[in-house]
Structure 1
Amino acid sequence: MDRFTVAGVLPEVEDYFGIGDSSSGLLQTVFISSYLVLAPLFGFLGDRHSRKRLLALGLALWSGVTLATSFVPPQHFGALLAGRALVGVGEAAYSTLAPTLVADLFRGPARSRALGGFYLAVPLGSGLGYIAGSKVKDLAADWRWALRVTPVLGLVALVLLLAVVSDPPRGGLEGPPATAPPLPRSWGHDLRALGRNRTLLLSTLGFTAVAFVTGALALWAPAFLFRVRLARGEGAPCRGGRRCQGDESLLFGALTCGSGVLGVGLGAELSRRLRPRHPRADPLLCAGGLLGGAPFLLLALLCARPCPPAAYVFIFVGETLLSLNWAIVADILLYVVPPPRRSTAEALQIVASHLLGDAGSPYLVGLLSDALGGGAAAVSFQRGAGALLRALLLLPFAAALGGAAFLAAGNALPRDRRRARREARGLPPDGDSDDDDDAAATAGPPAATGRTRHGLA
């Protein structure tokens, strides 16, 4: 919710600070940039120190900074950018460490359900961020109050984290090792081992496409739908301090909640049912979600002006298909990477997917929109909506490329899964696999499943 509340009041933010589309895109870019820069640090610390304490530190930081940024005066847009960057520090801790902690609390199908439920919070929180931003703004007649609600929820979460959540041993549920545990290895050794994991690399590339699409869509979809309504002559702009009238953020938030819950749940259930019969089912499901979602995103953009209700339907279907990936990508990482390297792998996947994905896509879309005559420079509402539409056409193309990466990951999956299982048992990763390993590889990982990304949301 903290991440997307600003997107729910973006027209008011632009008017309050007097900024254009490219500067608006920076709000998301600086958040993601600090997030991805610090994720490796938290991954390193999370493999060696108390994950619970690190999570508490991150949660306290981002909730406090979110509250502080609501008091930034209009002449200090840079302070708002700095605050959004600090919010990314907190999310770097949480997104990197929380999945590995949950994975060590459950095993087998219970882990799938636990991580699937945990990652439902990504689309659900994203959608609630839009809704909270839109409705709190309407009730308080001031968009800044939208940033003063979620820190209260953050405080409650912090108390529960400290009082209820335990910090279990890493890999404690994976079963006893076949040999004595190896001596601790250097971080450089971990990085080299992860660099040879083709499934991890290709699934990260595919998830980069998911991050690219969802990051740009999250920031710009409500603003685009608002501009389309202005171009149709059905509303007035929010200028000179006048409050924007419209339900675009509310509707998009509701669609994000619904499509996210449906997509994450459907993806986790399909994975659970198909993986025992088809060992490569997970990356193929991810590929299907991206390749299937691309045409629906394109239809949503093209139908927005002539038929807005159809655009909302296509957005819902496209987001549902994209959401299939969240829990499955988490599963893939957990069963192709042995427990001692999972926090590092999480961190590197976060860095790569956000660096090439949603760190730049909101700013890139805003920059293209400005270059095409949109934003503050638009000479008409029609021109502004058309410029943003053409800039958003990047998204279906990126989704198709991500689907191709997941198809390639399916070829490398059996080998990398077998290597991770052998390493978890203390065996050489490239040794001859015994019958138990082969049977387990066909049936799917006994203790690894589901997780989503953030951000994402």
Structure 2
Amino acid sequence: MTTSTPSTAKNRGVIRPTLGQARFAFVVLLIINILNYADRSILSAIAPKLQADLHLTNTDLGLLASSFLFIYAIATLPIGIWADRGIRKNIVALCVGLWSIATALGGLTHTFIHLFLTRSVLGIGEAGYAPASQSLIGDYFPKSQRARVLSYWSVGTLIGTALGLVCGGLIAEHFGWRWAFFVVGIPGLLTALLIWRSVEPSRGAFDNDEEGGKDIVAGHGGVGKDILTVIKRIAKIPTYWILLVAFIFSFFTIGSAQFWIPTYFVRAFNLTVGQAASISGGVLAGGSLIGTLLGGWLADLLQKRRPQGRLIVATFALIVGSPLTLLALSIHEMTPFIIVFILAIVCLSLCLGPLNAAIQDIIAPEMRSTAIGVVLLLAHLLGDAASPSIVGAIADRTSLGFALIITAPICLLIAGLICLAGLRTVARDMKAMQDQLNQQHA
């Protein structure tokens, strides 16, 4: 039961959830992540119907996707700072409730401006989830399991995207696009209650287990007292900024692909909205599921042998994914396109868990939410928040296929080359973080 008394370590007030409590909270966070991405992807599934009903251009469609992501990016950092100070599970619960209501209200809109505003509010709600949730997961499980657990959590991204695409497309085709918003918006209220009832673990409770058995009790107020000091500390970690640039370019590709691929199927292969959503959802989910689980397993396995293990997996995935993406978008027959595109998705998804775990490996526990918040702020603003509009504007002047083919492969290649540079710094930054923890809690 989630109400049982959390375990403590050495009577020092360290709250370490039991295995059952950690698993319960993780399942709830996974479900929330699924709903998170279902809410996000629903718009791309219904885009052709929405475009015809409201008489929108490709640029207009891109702006609707970008409205959510821009607000999401801007709100992520301040809420990430709040997560470093406050009770993270309560922050998650509040934000989940807010985005669920905003999604349902999207079904009541009748103009571009009204829908633009509801998608913007959706961004505020979802911004509070990722930093606090990743910080929670980092404290629910030992360091040796983080890449694997975060990869499992990332599976929610894939399942949610698939559900949003498939259900959204089928609902829009049979009942109208407004009902798609109603169906995906309501379940979030229940998960908000469940995460609110879970256990809040101490920050960094497991971080020293493998280095001598000392327990960490990280303060809740360090960031809020002097955010500039925290940013200065983060700025001195080279690998962090390398990972940030890799996130920006990979997010650009992910954002444009997730939004435009269903529409690309409709236009390139003459499919209905329901058919395009079902196929794209299955392709994205299937390839991503394989890649994400395999990436987490490989990263943890290689990390035991080399401190650069997680970043090696991410680098390989991005560099190989670039030419595969280029090849897929150059194919104009359905079956071979799907085969190559799945391989490209598998490669891209290999990096999800390792990159998230690598950030936690180099950042002290009391700064992790803020560090993740900075990454998400810049990666969304410069990456997936901008890409739907940019690709849409290019498509209005050329074609959607051309817009995708000149952006996605190049961005993936740049992200991979940036990660190559990180292989030289990550081991040193990991050691510096651990030495700092050992000095503070000797």
Q: TM-score, normalised by structure 1?
A: 0.83
Q: Which residue of 1 aligns with 2:313?
A: 285
Q: Please give the secondary structure, in 1, of the residue aligned with 2:71.
A: helix
> How many angstroms apart in 2 are the aligned matches of 1:48 and 1:426?
22
The residue that corresponds to 1:38 in the other structure is 75
Q: Is the 8 A contact 2:41 2:165 kept in 1?
A: yes
Query: Do the aligned partners of residues 216 and 245 (structure 1) sit closer, same or farther apart at CA in structure 2, a change above 3 Å counting?
Result: closer
Stretches of structure 1 lacking an aligned partner (at least 5 in a row): 236-243, 373-386, 429-457
Q: 1: CA distance between counterparts of 2:414 and 2:147?
A: 27
Say whether 1:392 aligns with 2:411: no
Instruction: Give the match for residue 108 of structure 1.
Output: 143
Matched, 1:213 2:253: yes
Q: CA deviation at 1:57?
A: 1.0
User: Larger deviation: 418-427 or 97-106?
Assistant: 418-427
- Give the letter for the 1:70 counterpart: G
Flag the 1:173–1:82 CA change in 2: closer, same or farther, 3 A: same
User: What amino acid sits opposite 1:42 in the alignment?
Assistant: I
Q: What's the secondary structure of 2:56's corresponding residue?
A: coil
* Residue 110 (structure 1) shift: 3.8
How far 1:427 moved relative to its partner? 4.7
Return the offset for 1:112.
Answer: 3.8
> Partners of 1:299 and 1:350 in 2: how far apart?
29
Aligned partner of 1:160 among 194, 208, 233: 194
The answer to whether residue 424 in structure 2 is matched with residue 404 in structure 1 is no
Cα deviation for residue 111 of structure 1 reads 3.6
- Give the whole-Å Cα distance in 1 for the aligned partners of 2:324 and 2:164: 24
- Aligned counterparts of 2:57 and 2:393: Cα–Cα separation in 1: 9
Query: Displacement of 1:159 after TM fit?
Result: 2.4
Aligned to 1:433: none
Name 1:354's counterpart in structure 2. 380
Report the number of matched residues.
397
* Post-superposition CA distance 1:341-392 (Å, at most 9, x none): 00000100101211111011110000011122xxxxxxxxxxxxxx111111
Alignment of 1:76-87 (within 5 A): 76-87=111-122
Structure 1 residues 412 and 229, CA gap change in structure 2 (3 angstroms)? same
Native 8 Å contact 1:66 1:148 kept in 2: yes
SS in structure 1 opposite 2:186?
helix
Q: Cα 1:133–1:421, aligned 2, differ >3 Å: closer, same or farther?
A: same
Indicate conservation of the 8 Å contact 1:5/1:129, yes or no.
Answer: yes
Q: What does 1:361-376 correspond to in 2, within 5 Å?
A: 361-372=387-398
Distance in 2 (CA, whole Å) between partners of 1:279 and 1:229 is: 45
How much has 1:150 moved relative to structure 2?
1.4
Alpha-carbon separation, structure 2, partners of 1:157 and 1:41: 23
The structure with the greater share of residues assigned to helix is 2
Is the 1:124–1:256 contact (alpha carbons within 8 Å) kept by the matching residues of 2?
A: no
Query: Which segment drifts farther, 209-218 or 152-161?
Result: 152-161
**Residue 311 of structure 1 aligns with which residue?**
337
The 1:248/1:340 distance shift into structure 2, 3 A limit, reads same
Q: Which one has the largest radius of gyration?
A: 1
Partner Cα distance (2:301, 2:72) in 1:
34
Deviation at 1:166, TM superposition (A): 1.2
1:59-79 alpha-carbon deviations (Å, 9 max, x no partner): 000000000010101xx2111
Residues of 1 paired with 2:265 and 2:322: CA distance? 19
Cα–Cα, structure 1 residues 424 and 22, in superposed 2: closer, same or farther, change >3 Å?
Answer: same
Match of 1:271 among 299, 308, 321: 299
Q: Which moved more, 1:339-348 or 1:105-114?
A: 105-114
Aligned amino acid, residue 80 of structure 1: L
Q: Which residue of 2 aligns with 1:422?
A: 435
| Partner deviation per Cα, 1:16-51 (whole Å, 9 max, x = no partner) | 110100010011111110011011111111111111
* CA-to-aligned-CA distance 1:134-193 (integer Å, 9 cap, x gap): 1222342x1111111112321221122123x21111112223769998994611111011
Q: TM-score, normalised by structure 2?
A: 0.86
* Separation in 1, partners of 2:101, 2:193: 14
Q: Which residue of 2 aligns with 1:454?
A: none
- Displacement of 1:317 after TM fit? 0.9
Letter in 1 for 2:387: S
**Kindly, what percent of the aligned residue pairs are identical?**
25
2-structure distance, mates of 1:171, 1:181: 6
Q: For the structure 1 residues 274 and 71, does the alpha-carbon distance in structure 2 shift closer, same or farther, using more than 3 Å as the test?
A: same
Partners of 1:53 and 1:245 in 2: CA distance: 38
* Contact 2:315–2:419 under 8 Å retained in 1: yes
TM alignment of 1:15-30, pairs within 5 A: 15-30=52-67
Give the 3 Å change call, closer, same or farther, for CA 158–253 of structure 1 in structure 2: same
Is the Cα contact below 8 Å between 2:48 and 2:273 reproduced in 1? no
Relative CO higher for 1 or 2, CA cutoff 8 Å, sep ≥ 6? 1
Question: Which residue does the alignment assign to 2:322?
Answer: 294
Shift in Å, 1:208: 1.3
Distance 1:402 1:57, change over 3 A: same
1:51-90 matches, within 5 Å, as 51-73=88-110, 76-90=111-125
Q: Between 405-414 and 417-426, report the one with greater CA deviation.
A: 417-426
2:353 is aligned with what amino acid?
A: A
What is the aligned partner in structure 2 of residue 143 from structure 1?
Answer: 177
CA drift at 1:121: 0.3
SS of the aligned residue for 2:152 comes to helix
AA at the equivalent of 2:66: T
Cα–Cα, structure 1 residues 50 and 180, in superposed 2: closer, same or farther, change >3 Å? closer
Q: Deviations over 1:276-300 (max 9, x none)?
A: 2122122121111111111111111
Is 1:5 aligned with 2:42?
A: yes
Unaligned runs of 5+ in 2: 1-37
* Aligned equivalents of 1:178, 1:104: Cα separation in 2: 12
Match of 1:438 in 2: none
> 1:87-129: per-residue Cα shift (whole Å, max 9, x none)?
1111110011101011111113444443222221011111111
**Alignment partners' CA distance in 2, 1:256 and 1:135:** 17
Q: Give distance in 1, aligned partners of 2:384 and 2:334.
A: 26
Partner of 2:8: none
CA pair 101-11 structure 1, distance change in 2 beyond 3 A: same
CA distance in 2, matches of 1:292, 1:179: 39
> Cα distance 1:245–1:344, how it changes in 2: closer, same or farther (>3 A)?
closer
1:198 aligned residue? 238
1:396 is paired with a residue whose SS is helix
